[in-house]
Amino acid sequence: MMKRNIRRISAFAAIGLAASLAATAAPAQAAVVTIKLVMASYTDAMTPYYTDLITRFEAANPGIKVELDVVAWPEIGQKVKTLIASGQSPDIVNNDEFAGEAADGLLYKASEIVSPSTLADIIPAFMTNSEYNGVAYAVPDLASARAFFYNKKILAGAGVKKPPATWAELTAAAKAIKKKYPNVYPLGLPLGVEEAQAEFTVWGGGNGARLYDTKKKKYTINTKAYLDSLLFLKSLVDQKLTQPNPGKTNRTDGAWTLFAKGKVAMVDGGVFLPDWLSKNGGKAIKWGAAPFPHAPGKSDVTLGVQDYFKGYKANGRVVEIRKFLDFLFIADNYQGFLKAAGGFIPATKSAGVKAAKDPIIGPYVALLPKAIFYPGTLGSWAACKSAIITHMGTAMLNPQRSLTAIQKKCDAANRK
């Protein structure tokens, strides 16, 4: 019995080994040029979108084959790094950082990877955010701006007449909500690894804090302005006015999910949140969007985030990269991209005209002048961002300690 099994197993095994050798040997036969894509997964709709796009692209360009990898946000930075370090550089990447790679000379210039007409269509302000040492190394794919979302029904039910505009009003509103609806967390505070840097930037920003001082060329993280904003958030956490675990809550599987269920009354959302809600069981929620509450005597800000397409030099596929990106930026294809990504602000003028008229996206386009952006043009930003993300996990326990640690890491990255 045993013996027969062994024989069966080993026959099976032999097939397995042969197959695996065959599988690894296969790519050698190419006369076709393959380009590798590593793309951020804004939503679950990205993979179907790219799959369709690639099928059509390959049909139109018989000499080019496209290998697709759609990666979740928290993994994508690491994945790209892994691929580069292993000599398997991707050809096109879509994520939220470019300057470090530009500094290392890994990237084609923006003018090399899209045609002049595509480039001319990109909104100039976004192009400026894509420059390293005065040269654009990335093509913006889309942008977002944030707003403070609230559940109209809960706020009204708790007797909160208008969305809180200041920190004091926020605390008061939260207390009122807690009292009236003990099962609702008044504020959703996602300081988990998914996008803690956004919360940090936008709450600090409402207290006048900025991440980087361009004159002194220094990160300005360990400052009183940031400390006060964290202490304010901590006071909310300590009074149980937020969900219980800010340091590990993400947006999509935490704060927003709770918001969609009416378990969180107020949350940092963005232009993309309405689309997300409709896809994730939050259709019934009556939401409103307001400016972020700010500190006394300061003015409200929003956070502007833009992401990028980048072309990598390592494989010398500039022609194919350009063909693909130009194909993606064809109006209909780009609309499809925006749709799959889920309600962002377009990066092109042509799509922007349409978006400005959109009842949901339009107000955000108007909001952009108030936006603070990350110092994404710095080579050190990626490392600094990572430090913020990790240390926000414990910032509600000991804000000062987190700030000290972040400052130290950002300074170290800045010196490199």
Partner 1 sequence: MSTQTYKKGSSWAALPWLGPALILIFGFVLWPMVELFLMSFRKVSVSGLIKGWAGLDNYRALLDNSDLAGTLKRTLIWLVVIVFFTMAISLPLAQLMNAKFRGQKFLRYSIIVPWAASLVITATSSKWILDPYYGILNTILIDLRIIKEPIDLLGDPKSAFICLLVVGILVSLPFTSYVLLAGLQSIPQDILEAAKVDGAGHWKGYWAIIFPLLRPAFLVGAVINAVYVFNSFPIIWVMTTGGPGYETDTTTTFAYKIAFRDQDIGQSASLAVGNFLIILVFIMLFLKLSKWKELDQQ
Partner 2 sequence: MKLDMGHKTKRRISQTGLSVLGITVALLFLFPYVSMLLTAVKPKSDITDIPPTYFPKHWEWDNFIKVFQELPFGMYIRSTILISVSTMILGLLASIPAGYYVARNNFRLRTPFLLLVLVTQMFSPTTLLIGIYREMSSLHLVNSYLGLIIINASFNLAFSVWILSSFFKSIPIEIEEAAAIDGASRFQTFRKISLPLALPGIVTTAIFTFIAAWNEYVVAYTLASSPSKQPFSVGLSLLIGYYEVKWNYLFAGSLIAIIPVFILFVMIEKYLVSGLTAGSVK
Interacting residues toward partner 1 by CB under 8 A: 77-78, 81-82, 84-85, 100-101, 103-104, 106, 192-193, 243-249, 258, 263, 379-380, 382-383, 386-387, 389-395, 397, 402, 404-405, 408-409, 412-413, 416
Residue 406: CB minimum distance to partner 1, A: 10
Only one residue has tokens 């939401």, namely: 287
Partner whose binding site includes residue 194, from partner 2, partner 1, none (CB under 5 to 8 Å by kind): partner 2
Partner whose binding site includes residue 120, from partner 2, partner 1, none (CB under 5 to 8 Å by kind): none
Judged by DSSP in three states, 305 sits in strand
Assigned token pair, 397: 């326990």
Catalogue the long-range contacts made by 254-260 (C-beta closer than 8 Å, 24 or more residues apart): 254/188, 254/190, 254/192, 255/188, 255/189, 255/190, 256/188, 256/190, 256/280, 256/282, 258/185, 258/188, 259/149, 259/151, 259/188, 259/285, 259/287, 260/285
Give 148's strand partners: 268, 290
Residue 294 backbone phi and psi in degrees, to 5 = -125, 170
Residue 14: CB minimum distance to partner 1, A: 17
**Which residues are at the interface with partner 2 (CB under 8 A)?**
2-3, 5-6, 9-10, 12-17, 19-21, 23-24, 38, 41, 43-44, 67, 69, 72-75, 79, 82-83, 85-88, 194, 250, 252-253, 257, 261, 263, 280-281
Only one residue has tokens 């000499």, namely: 63
Residue 90: CB minimum distance to partner 2, A: 9
Give Cα separations from 407 to 154, 184, 211 (angstroms): 39, 35, 10
Partner whose binding site includes residue 43, from partner 1, partner 2, none (CB under 5 to 8 Å by kind): partner 2
Task: Name which of 357 and 416 has its Cβ closer to partner 1.
Answer: 416
Judged by DSSP in three states, 252 sits in helix
CB atoms under 10 Å from CB of 352, counted, come to 18
Residue 120: CB minimum distance to partner 2, A: 34
Partner whose binding site includes residue 343, from partner 1, partner 2, none (CB under 5 to 8 Å by kind): none
- Residue 185 CA to residue 241 CA, distance in Å, equals 6
Only one residue has tokens 């259709």, namely: 283
Partner whose binding site includes residue 409, from partner 2, partner 1, none (CB under 5 to 8 Å by kind): partner 1
Give Cα separations from 250 to 181, 189, 194 (angstroms): 23, 8, 5
Residue 55: CB minimum distance to partner 1, A: 31
Task: Name which of 70 and 403 has its Cβ closer to partner 2.
Answer: 70
Partner whose binding site includes residue 92, from partner 2, partner 1, none (CB under 5 to 8 Å by kind): none
Task: Name which of 53 and 237 has its Cβ closer to partner 1.
Answer: 237
State CA 400 to chain mean position distance. Answer: 26
Partner whose binding site includes residue 238, from partner 2, partner 1, none (CB under 5 to 8 Å by kind): none
Residue 391: CB minimum distance to partner 1, A: 6
Task: Name which of 104 and 253 has its Cβ closer to partner 2.
Answer: 253
